[in-house]
Structure 1
Amino acid sequence: MFAHLYDDVDPSSSYTTSDAQVLWMMNHALEEETDPVDRHGQQEFLGSADYLSNYGMTRLIPDMQAAATEVLKGKQLRDLFNTSILHETIVQILNMFTTMGSPHHWVNYLVPENAMLYKHQRAMSNISLCPDFSKLDQLMAETRAVLSSDDFGSVVEISLRTMVDAVMEDIGVQPGGGSLSSGMPLAKLLPRIAQTSPLLLEQPSRNRFIQIIQSLPEVELFFTLLYANISP
């Protein structure tokens, strides 16, 4: 598990070269002591980082669309939206999305709900996979436990609120006819919202929204405590 710490070392952070070397040595020692089967499971777990883009998005997008459709039901393109109404509408959509289905259902977008099915999908694309997936099962279960925890839920809530505020700032400063503060028809507002979408999907190194979330004290504290409790 020290591999996560080593991979996350940022050259611009407070880590020194010796700090990175210590992390590398600890990770290297762990790999030498780890059973090959367990080590393979760890590598498979790291390979699951693309689960959201490969599998989760196919469920997330229609679910988010369903939440937006429910909240916007009855709205007309001529209806006027100002800053407060738009902010409230976005929050309502997020609340609808996060409360749809079973508690913490959104975790299934990030981590496989059925580990056996996911392992089968992975095996179909890589015939060299080891048949013993006990370590992968363990890591998947631990990850789901963290993502389903109340502490992580609080971090997500704070992050979403911060994201909404940042998105509102971007929409408010976009050029175009009409003023959001005084109100504009939904038909004119939708293109502004669409222009903001690509900014949300920029690479992490250039993504202003991710950088804002990373700098939140609550987020920093959560991951500090999480890493402090990581055991091999």
Structure 2
Amino acid sequence: MDDGDLIDRDDQQRFLASADFLSTYGLPALISNMQVAVTEVLKGSSQSVVPTILRLCHRKQLRDHINSTVLHETIMQILDTFMSIRSPHLWADYLMPRDARLHELATASSNNDKVLSDITKFDQLMAETRAVISSAKFVNVAEIALKLVVDTLIKEIGIQCGGDTLATGMPLAKLLARVTHVGPILLKEPSKNQFIQIIRNQQEVEVFFTLIYSNIDLED
């Protein structure tokens, strides 16, 4: 077995070792930070600017009425707080593990033969992937996608509440019960998931993937 085969096998082992990163670390970390964001917003401790309507929402009791505007504002504030926790590499840290060699590859010049000779195809692939999901364009597309999901989610909750009930307002206790019913809709398989379909059809998302497949520098 030559050195090339050894490197390939090593890359395979490293890939397998990193394949469960999302489930064992990424998602738990994301959920934990989302819980922190929810707590900050609902307790009114977020340092960002909070609309007056949200401040009123923070003081509401389960018997008080909440309408679609307040609900939308609250969810967006939670997302804003969540995305500020790990800026600027929010999504990269959730989706893939950090690797010192990726930093070496990203900063190595073409004249640094020693560093480049130690970099495998797997290292290069991981570095390119991290560069994509750390780019400003990806962050922008992710924010657009999240806003689309929130808008659609509010509409879906409105349907669950029945007619114009949410638009005019309903007791918070009843609203929370309706919100829990939306969970399964969010987790439907991709081919039947309306949220994924809406994101997929968004022009900015289509342009982003066109740039990737065209090998255009996302930092431009």
- TM-score in terms of structure 1 length: 0.68
Q: What is the aligned counterpart of 2:91 among 106, 113, 123?
A: 106
Answering whether residue 58 of structure 2 is matched by residue 58 of structure 1, we say no
Per-residue deviation at 1:134? 2.6
% identical aligned pairs: 56
CA gap of 1:135–1:165, structure 2 versus 1, over 3 A, is same
Mapped contact 1:115–1:137 kept (Cα < 8 A)? no
Distance 2:128 2:76 in 1: 30
CA gap of 1:177–1:209, structure 2 versus 1, over 3 A, is closer
User: What secondary structure does 1:77 align onto?
Assistant: coil
Answering whether residue 61 of structure 2 is matched by residue 91 of structure 1, we say no
Aligned partner letter, 1:210 = I
Aligned partner letter, 1:217 = Q
Which deviations, in whole Å up to 9, do the C-alpha atoms of 1:136-181 show, x marking residues without a partner? 2222221111111111111111111111111011001114698111
Structure 2 unmatched runs, 5+: 44-57, 102-117
Per-residue deviation at 1:43? 8.9
Mapped contact 2:145–2:199 kept (Cα < 8 A)? yes
Distance 1:216 1:43 in 2: 37
**Partner residue, 1:229:** 215
Mapped contact 1:81–1:184 kept (Cα < 8 A)? yes
Matches within 5 A, 1:164-179: 164-175=150-161, 179=165
Per-residue deviation at 1:84? 0.8
Q: What is the aligned counterpart of 1:196 among 161, 182, 188?
A: 182
CA gap of 1:149–1:47, structure 2 versus 1, over 3 A, is same
How much is the aligned-residue C-alpha RMSD, in angstroms?
A: 2.8
- Runs of 4+ residues deviating >6 angstroms: none
**Partner residue, 2:204:** 218
**Equivalent residue pairs, number:** 181
Distance 2:207 2:13 in 1: 27
Mapped contact 2:67–2:167 kept (Cα < 8 A)? yes
CA gap of 1:151–1:53, structure 2 versus 1, over 3 A, is same
Distance 1:162 1:78 in 2: 29
Higher relative contact order (CA closer than 8 Å, sequence separation 6+): 1
Mapped contact 1:178–1:184 kept (Cα < 8 A)? no
Distance 2:164 2:203 in 1: 36
Q: What is the aligned counterpart of 2:11 among 15, 34, 41?
A: 41
- TM-score in terms of structure 2 length: 0.72
**Partner residue, 1:137:** 123
CA gap of 1:185–1:49, structure 2 versus 1, over 3 A, is farther
Aligned partner letter, 1:137 = D
Q: What is the aligned counterpart of 1:153 among 139, 161, 174?
A: 139
Distance 2:162 2:29 in 1: 34
Aligned partner letter, 1:141 = A
Distance 1:78 1:115 in 2: 52
